[in-house]
Chains A and B, each alone.
Chain A
Amino acid sequence: MKYSIVIFAVTLIMFACSDNPEPVIEPIPESVSSSEAVISSSEDIQAQKLEKKRKNIEEMINKIMQEDVYFDFDKHMLSEKARDVLSRIADILIEAKEFTVTVEGHTDDLGTEAYNMSLGGKRAKAVFEFLTNYGVAETRLKTMSFGEEKPKSEGSTDKDRELNRRAHFKVSIEK
């Protein structure tokens, strides 16, 4: 019995020392929409005009993109139709020199998260290479992957997944 009391005392001290604080519970912040982040608060009309043009071009490009530039499962190669679509986009970009473009690569939810993050990058890279070969200045282009994080279609049918294997364009005003 004496022995057990000693153990009690010793382990009690040990436990008291090992007590960790509880983690801070994180409140959910308000989300920041990307359009807010891009629009400057400047009253300058020129800036507003430029922003309007940027938006128009982004919309135009992504509308063209909707026709295709989807990718086969687990592939990053561009189809003939994708090349055709991208060449039309490249023509627009070559003219609109005041803008820079980020090519965003996206994947479906098949495959692992880490691999999809990289696969999205490869898709963006394929588009990047096509555009630079076509004549868009390399300095105006960036690549970026969202992997499987931003599906265009939330479902998990083959059709949904097909829609999610895509490249998307983000147009920014050159600084």
Chain B
Amino acid sequence: MKQLIWIVLTFAVLLSAEEVKELVVTSSGIKPTIAFLPFKNESDLKIPTEYLPQNIVASDLELSSRFKTIHSQEIDTAYWYVENVVAYVTGIYSQNSEGKLVIECRLNEMGTDALMYGNLYTLDQKKIRKTMHHFSDYVIKSFYKKLGVASTKLAYVHKSKGKKEIHVSDYDGYNKKRVIADGSIVTMPEWDVNNTALYYVSFKNYHGRVYKRNIYTGITQAVIPNVEQSFVPRESADGKFLLFTKAHRGNSDVYKMDLTSGKKTQLTKHWAIETSADWSPDGAQVVFSSDRGGMPQLYLMNSEGAKFERLTYEGKFNDSPRWSPNGKQIVFCGRKDSGRFNIFVMSMESKEIRQLTFDEGNNESPVWSPDGRLIAFSSTRTGKAQIFIMAADGTGLKQLTTQGSNTSPSWSHYTIQ
């Protein structure tokens, strides 16, 4: 059997990425293993362990949930054969005359040593994680045709000392930065399609309303100014429309706004709570939560506010639905008899629901990575709410935040192409 896998893997490079996935991942049930050699240091630099190129890339590939990784000191064909290694990562780093770091990165095929992907980066030392994430994304692309998400970012609400701010970090929790703090309560961040601005809700003018702030220039605008309250902003994939919840006389309904003309269309008209709307990737449909049946459940409608369909019947409280990037699934959080919130995924084809967390504290606000392989969410499993990511099947959990409490993650779109 091993020999068969070996033959399959050896020729995998010659096949299309889909075929690789088919053969390596689906058929064999085995994730391809990538070996990592220490990058050769041709400089006087001493790089801390977590910033070593091979460690950053190995961590990215593990987090992608698509690879197994092993570290070796040198090429070790016998051991790698046993471990089903399909390729290895190796490289050299040095410092140029301007003090910049120069990193040569290679992904080589096991056996033939042929180059599958390579890049030569010149960078400021502080950009080493960003640079290696770029390499990781292309390593993933050379196997699966589509870029990985190591270069993407997360925005989330950070609360400490009773104050709420919006922070942005790399997808793996590194490089945390405060990007929005206006002295009032800010919450519900959501990336715009260009990854340059965040929609969010601020109470700075007393009313909680949706604002948009460019996190690079600091330019801020009130997006929906003339309403009692507005919240849960969600931009459509083409950037042309914004879904939001509007409260009028205390009653919440889902609206859509044309971002060019500012024209608002009411999509739900009901005395019940209708909120948490999210677009299907093609913008034709909207999933939202409503307690019109007595308790919050998920419903579908088209983007004109017609053709309503109830989606969930199980559980006492289902909310925060998010459509997967390929449109095939909806992730949401729900509460059953345990009284705790858990993360669930519904298949849009079969309407079957799979549970991903199991009462480890409250698990809320799930969001998809742009490739649909990972889910970020907040969980109280370690005490205060913190941001975690996991694979879409619930495996490979990683905690990203530890300070204060952290909630409401929003995952950026792809940042590289």
Contact = CB atoms under 8 A, between A and B. Distances in A.
Do A and B come together as binding partners?
A: yes
Nearest to A150: B185
A115 B277 CA distance: 11
Given A118-B245, A121-B247, A145 B121 contact: no
Contacts of A124: 250
B218 A26 contact: yes
A117 B245 contact: yes
A114 B218 contact: no
Interface in A113-134: 113-115, 117-119, 121-126, 128
Interface in A121-175: 121-126, 128, 142-147, 149-150, 154
Nearest to B180: A26
Interface in B239-286: 245, 247, 249-252, 273-276
18 contacts: A8-B119, A11-B117, A15-B121, A15-B131, A29-B181, A29-B182, A31-B163, A112-B333, A113-B365, A114-B231, A114-B245, A115-B273, A117-B247, A117-B252, A121-B247, A121-B252, A144-B206, A149-B164
Contacts of A144: 206-208, 228-229
Contacts of B106: 4
Contacts of A147: 208
Given A8-B118, A112-B276, A145-B229, A24 B320 contact: no
Interface string B271-312: 001111000000000000101000010000000000000000
B364 to A, nearest CB: 6
Interface string B170-204: 00000001111111110110000001000000010
Contacts of A28: 163, 165, 178, 181, 183
A142 B228 CA distance: 9
A157 to B, nearest CB: 15
Interface of B: 104, 106, 115, 117-122, 131, 134, 138, 162-165, 168, 177-185, 187-188, 195, 203, 206-208, 215-218, 228-229, 231-232, 245, 247, 249-252, 273-276, 289, 291, 296, 317, 319-320, 333, 341, 364-365, 407-408, 415-417
Contact of A12 (B121, B229, B252): B121
Nearest to A29: B183
A10 B95 CA distance: 21
Interface in A77-125: 105, 111-115, 117-119, 121-125
Contact of A7 (B115, B274, B333): B115
Contacts of B119: 7-8, 11-12, 15
B320 A114 contact: yes
Contacts of B217: 24
Nearest to B115: A4
Nearest to A24: B218
B179 A125 contact: no
A3 B115 contact: yes
